[in-house]
Amino acid sequence: MTKITTEHLARNACVYIRQSTADQLAHNHESRRRQYGLVDRAKQLGWSNVEVIDDDLGRSGGGIARPGFERLLATICDGRVGAVLAIEASRLARNGRDWHTLIEFCGLVGTLIVDEDGIYDPRHPNDRLLLGMKGTMSELELSMFRHRSQEALKQKARRGALVLGVAAGYVKIGRDRIEKNPDKRVQDALQLVFTKFAELQSARQVHIWLREEGIELPVKSRQGEAHGVVWRLPAYNIVHNILTNPIYAGAYAFGRTTSRVSVKGGRKHVRRGVQKPMAEWDVLIKDHHAAYITWDEFEHNLEVIANNATGMSSALARGAARKGELLLPGLLRCGHCGRKLHVHYSGKIGRYNCYGARTNHGAARCISISGLSIDAAISNEVLRVLKPLGAEAALKAIKAQSSTTTAAERQLELSLQQARYEAAHARRQYDAVDPANRLVAGELERRWNEALQAVAKLEGEIAALIARRPPPFGEPERQQLVALGADLERAWLHPAATAATRKRILRAALTEIVVRRDGAIIHAVLHWQGGDHTQLQVKQRLNAAGRHNPRIPDDTIALVRELARLMPDRQIARLLNRAGVETGHGNAWTQERVCGFRNHHDIAVFRDGEWAERGEITLEAAAKLIGVCNMTALRMLRRGDIKGRQACAGAPWVIRAEDLAGFAKGKRRKPPLTQNTTQRVLDFQ
């Protein structure tokens, strides 16, 4: 008691209260009562003013941000605290930084630290040593508890017996086993996701299709496992999680995510849920339980999703098929530098370009290929290889179209069965209650009516879906489809065949195409899905971008060659369009077409300062030099007083500076108004 002085009692006493987790806050009430009981102990020790700081309930003491602890330190530094009370050192802090900061501040202002074991004055060496040991033991205790719990979890996970929660489509049996959900509607809905992904090859497209068809997916209830699943239209992350979760491939996986710890503002910041590569998972047990897809299908789905990525970090991914008339975006890779080729459109005409070297190193682009020529050559090669499979594909299409029930109808029928069961269940509940008990009977009647309305709504949706169903193929349509299957080239060129359909066919057959240019020859190596490789040579078409029709007049080539020394490409295009000069295909000129024309004919681009290097000036500069207006200088050019040249009508006049300098020197003085020397000149004021 001698440690408590009147100076300490004149200040406030702070009772710091903390529990580490929300679970402790909800269930461990006795610990919280013990901590609040320290208020009475502070009063027994002589303090009349006791402040309770409980802002950190549900927060760990392991170094994360704690506003209550920060407020406690600020109050201590103000010199208003005589003692800090806690049931043990671990309540105040479980890391050395916070604990020793508290001891240091208390020692500076003379604040006592009180726990259930005694009273400590940080200014005394023995008490300071004891407090330091308590903080070290508290920190060590936390590390030991964490290590033991994590090792116990990993040991159980290595046996595949650690089942903390199950995904939608599975139910927990006992404490360490899972099985497929016996609900047929749940199983069919999940199987539909994998089936549509195998067809569309894009998680985003599967998500869009499910939303357009109004198909709901099962999702785990937020109220816990006992409440089963709820049905709702899927968000994208639900579809993506189903496709990438190994549980649906019958595998038990533990440690798929990790935590990243960083220091922000002097405090520990934990980022949880960081995905780890499959090779770094802590536990992976295949064939652990019943599966919806095989493990090979699961790995293929992961590969497709990774290839669909289009971010800057996905240099090896080919990306998902996008809009546009070109058929090979994402499949082409430069054989010179190994980078992906990018697509550039000028109207509907596109080209494949490798910009990697220019973007990263400032060098010239490796390769530029006409989209029309390479697309046609690759398409013909793919059609040649797939021709024997055309008839088989046609038969499968006929079989799929002749199916009486689509996937959307099947899901609606299962939903209707569930709704009818719930309506019947609501009716049985209503029949079982005493009609005179209107407090209960009224509520059960309302539930029965809602269930009947849900049944009627689903029946209407199924009827509308059946009404929109296309009629089955007749015999002429079947024969036409079989003929198209036997003649794939005819089906490929059919007006109903879209670019999206052709892209899907090419991506189903090819994994990648490596292209390399040697003069006018494009060497392509086709990598097929089965692992085979085919070499192909494609001759660059003459009418590719920059290689205009050879019928273009020679005087046009000469005109562009001269204009390129006078102005940039954009101004050249405007001048040629005003002059009525057309490209070889009869199109108007653009900056890109002028640039391609120059590159094809080896014409250098205009540079700033060329006029000065050649000693040439414009009409405006000449007029300013000789002291006349622009129109006067133009008349002098046309009369021949000044020498100059013009490439074509509307082009800028080019005047040599040395010729103009001679003209300026020989320029005569202004003659008098009259020959009479006695004539007086009147100056008007």
Q: How many alpha carbons lie under 13 Å from residue 520 in its C-beta half-sphere?
A: 8
pLDDT at 619: 83
Residues forming beta bridges with residue 335, ordered by sequence position: none
pLDDT(543) > 50: no
Q: How many alpha carbons lie under 13 Å from residue 131 in its C-beta half-sphere?
A: 27
pLDDT(23) > 60: yes
**Predicted confidence (pLDDT) per residue in 275-315, tens digit:** 888 888 888 999 889 899 999 999 989 888 887 776 544 45
Residues carrying an active site annotation: 20
Please give the share of the chain, as a percent, with pLDDT higher than 90: 7
pLDDT at 664: 54
**Predicted confidence (pLDDT) per residue in 40-70, tens digit:** 988 988 899 999 998 888 888 777 778 888 8
Higher-pLDDT residue of 23, 392: 23
pLDDT at 398: 47
Q: Average of pLDDT values for 442-458?
A: 87
Pairing of strands 81-85, 112-114: parallel
Query: Residue ranges of the alpha helices (H) in 28-124?
Result: 29-36, 38-44, 67-77, 89-92, 96-109
Q: What is the DSSP string of 388-399?
A: GGHHHHHHHHHH
Task: Give the distance, in angstroms, between the CA of residue 517 and the centroid of all CA atoms in the same chain.
Answer: 33
Q: Which residues of 435-449 are buried (b: 16+ CB within 10 A; e: fewer)?
A: eeeeeeeeebbebbe
pTM for the predicted model, two decimal places: 0.55
Tell me the pLDDT band of 487, cut-offs 50, 70 and 90.
Answer: low
Angle at CA of residue 113, ends 110 and 119, nearest 5° = 105
Q: What is the DSSP string of 553-589?
A: -HHHHHHHHHHTTTS-HHHHHHHHHHTT---TTSPPP
Q: Average of pLDDT values for 671-675?
A: 60
**Predicted confidence (pLDDT) per residue in 84-110, tens digit:** 998 887 778 878 888 888 888 988 998
Task: Give the 3-state DSSP-derived string for 412-479, with helices as H, strands as E and coil as C.
Answer: HHHHHHHHHHHHHHHHHHHHHCCCCCHHHHHHHHHHHHHHHHHHHHHHHHHHHHHHCCCCCCCHHHHH
SS3 label, residue 127:
helix
Tell me the pLDDT band of 670, cut-offs 50, 70 and 90.
Answer: low
pLDDT at 684: 52
How far is residue 579's CA from residue 584's CA, in Å, rounded to a whole number?
Answer: 15
pLDDT(500) > 60: yes
Tell me the pLDDT band of 147, cut-offs 50, 70 and 90.
Answer: confident
What is the dihedral sign for C-alpha 335, 340, 345, 348? Answer: positive
> Which structure tokens are listed for 476?
């002429």
Pairing of strands 12-19, 50-57: parallel
Contacts of 483 (CB under 8 A, 6+ apart): 490
pLDDT at 547: 47
pLDDT(322) > 70: no
How far is residue 427's CA from residue 420's CA, in Å, rounded to a whole number?
Answer: 10
pLDDT at 313: 45
pLDDT at 491: 63
User: Residue 428 in contact with residue 445, Cβ under 8 Å?
Assistant: no
Q: Average of pLDDT values for 550-566?
A: 80
Closest CA to 569 of 542, 601, 607: 607
User: Residue 526 in contact with residue 378, Cβ under 8 Å?
Assistant: yes
Q: Average of pLDDT values for 397-410?
A: 57
**Predicted confidence (pLDDT) per residue in 227-243, tens digit:** 678 888 889 999 999 99
Local structure of residue 155 (DSSP, 8 states): H
How far is residue 200's CA from residue 301's CA, in Å, rounded to a whole number?
Answer: 11
Please give the share of the chain, as a percent, with pLDDT higher than 70: 82
Pairing of strands 252-254, 229-232: unpaired
Local structure of residue 328 (DSSP, 8 states): -
pLDDT(638) > 70: yes
In the chain, what is the straight-line distance between the N-terminal and C-terminal CA atoms, in Å?
111
Mean pLDDT over each residue of the chain, to the nearest integer = 80
pLDDT at 315: 53
User: Residue 62 in contact with residue 46, Cβ under 8 Å?
Assistant: no
pLDDT at 592: 86
**Predicted confidence (pLDDT) per residue in 156-203, tens digit:** 888 888 888 788 889 888 777 888 888 888 888 899 999 889 888 888
> How buried is residue 515: exposed, middle or buried, by Cβ count under 10 Å (0-12/13-18/19+)?
buried
Q: Which region holds residue 367: left if phi is over 0, alpha if psi is between -120 and 50, else beta?
A: beta
pLDDT(357) > 60: no
Question: Based on C-alpha coordinates, what's the Rg of the chain?
Answer: 42
**Predicted confidence (pLDDT) per residue in 596-633, tens digit:** 888 888 888 888 888 888 888 888 888 888 888 888 88
Q: Average of pLDDT values for 255-261?
A: 84
Higher-pLDDT residue of 592, 394: 592
